[in-house]
Chains A and B, each alone.
Chain A
Amino acid sequence: MRLAPLAVMAVISMSSVALATDEAAPVPAPRDTQNASVVRGGIVYRTYCVLCHGSEGKGDGRAAKMYTPKPANLTVSPFNDAYKEMIIRRGGTGVGRSAFMPPWGDELSDEQIHDLVSFLRELRKTGQSAG
């Protein structure tokens, strides 16, 4: 019977340690996680980019048939995030590439562009693993 209070105290003590550990490691808010950014970027992609780049990012969207050169296959894109962001903001003409790629800097917010680049990074990983 005397052991019962001690056991209760031990449990409370361990819980406090666990709580303290949780507080020590900052947990990002759900909307700030990389995964959330990729999900939001996917929504941006399906709204604005899928028309030319296609649902899987392979450059085979329904408008692709009109263009030469064809829209980029984003699953094998060699460009880093900074360059992708520049193409998205300025459009093809703004970076000396295909004029068929519109500039999105006035249409998309900074957060949308950041999210879109996150999504494209994941798309490329998926494309590489699938290939």
Chain B
Amino acid sequence: MNRIRLLIPAALAVTFALPAHADNHTVSQVKKSFSVPVVKAKVGDTIEFRNDDDFAHNVFSLSDAQSFDLGSYKKGEVRSVKLAKEGVIEVECAIHPDMKMKIEVKK
């Protein structure tokens, strides 16, 4: 019984000490649009941008929360970005100015 009493706090400590599980989110680009207007994610998650159009896209962000440029890539290709800190990331396509979406990143 005493051993169990000792093990429970230890197990809880290990559980909460582990980093939160990082998730992958996939955002498709189709018909010159992002498949979703907003992705809610957390720090450490990865966003995969998959080009399902017949032409190139160039996903980038200039947001203070995180800026990146995935470069130009063609149909079927996937490029990803790992979320480094919390905040709102506004994502655009350099080739298609009307394409916009947001990533809301929490801790």
A residues with CB within 8 A of B: 47-48, 51-52, 62-63, 65-67, 91, 93, 99-100, 102-104, 106-107
Within 8 A of A (CB), among B48-83: 55-56, 58, 60, 62, 67-69, 71-72
Apart from A63-B62, A99-B71, list 9 A-B contacts with CB within 8 A: A51-B94, A51-B97, A62-B62, A66-B69, A67-B69, A93-B72, A102-B71, A102-B72, A107-B96
Q: How far is the CA of A100 from the CA of B68 in the complex (A)?
A: 12
**Interfacial chain B residues near A103, Cβ < 8 Å:** 56, 72
B residues with CB within 8 A of A: 55-56, 58, 60, 62, 67-69, 71-72, 94-97
**Interfacial chain B residues near A107, Cβ < 8 Å:** 55-56, 95-96
* Given A66-B62, A102-B56, A102-B58: A48 in contact with B71 (beta carbons within 8 A): no
Closest CB in chain B relative to A126 CB, distance in Å: 24
Are B67 and A106 closer than 8 Å at their CB atoms?
A: no
**Interfacial chain B residues near A106, Cβ < 8 Å:** 55-56
Are A66 and B56 closer than 8 Å at their CB atoms?
A: no
**Interfacial chain A residues near B97, Cβ < 8 Å:** 47-48, 51
Closest CB in chain B relative to A41 CB, distance in Å: 16
Q: How far is the CA of A93 from the CA of B69 in the complex (A)?
A: 15
**Interfacial chain A residues near B69, Cβ < 8 Å:** 63, 66-67, 100
Are B94 and A102 closer than 8 Å at their CB atoms?
A: yes
**Interfacial chain B residues near A63, Cβ < 8 Å:** 60, 62, 69, 94
Closest CB in chain A relative to B66 CB, distance in Å: 11
Per a CB cutoff under 8 Å, which of A52, A65, A93, A99 touches B94?
A52
When C-beta atoms are compared, the residue in chain A nearest to B53 turns out to be A106
